[in-house]
Amino acid sequence: MAINYMHKKKIVHRDLKPENILLESKERGKLDVKISDFGFACFFDPENGLETVLGSALYMAPEIILKQNYNEKVDIWAIGVIAYMSLTGRNPFPGDSKNAVKQMIVEKKLDFTKEYFTRLNPDAVDFIKKMLERNVEKRASAQ
């Protein structure tokens, strides 16, 4: 997976969102996934982390919003938001403004018992839960 490769090289994207994921197919039945827009990407030091607040509000990890040091796992959070939206057709953190969305990201407890989750494969729900874990230490890695 491209994100795993980037993270092993100590690169964090910091702006993963559907618009930056491209799908290409030159052969029937074969789909290549490409990541684009590396304008916010940078190298990171696992010991010191990063602190610049940037990215698209809906896909920002709580630690960015709270202006805490962060690491590559902000990309994992964004993948969780993308998966949630792709599999449920719903926004996990709806809000009328960027500030309202950010507040929801920091405070809203996600309810995985909603009817639209019962139709999903339990492994898919588990995947989303592991990506949208607010505790960075417990959040899944790309590996």
**In the chain, domain spans:** 2-131
Alpha helices per DSSP H over 1-143: 2-8, 62-65, 73-88, 98-107, 115-118, 122-131
pTM of the model: 0.93
Catalytic residues: 15
Domain 2-131 sits in CATH at 1.10.510.10
Decide: 71 and 50 in contact? Cβ < 8 Å. yes
- One digit per residue, pLDDT tens: the chain, 143 residues? 789 999 999 999 999 999 999 988 888 888 888 999 999 999 999 889 999 999 999 999 999 999 999 999 999 999 999 999 999 999 999 999 999 999 999 999 999 998 989 999 999 999 999 999 999 999 999 99
Cα dihedral 60→65→70→73 (10° resolution): -30
3-state secondary structure of 11: strand
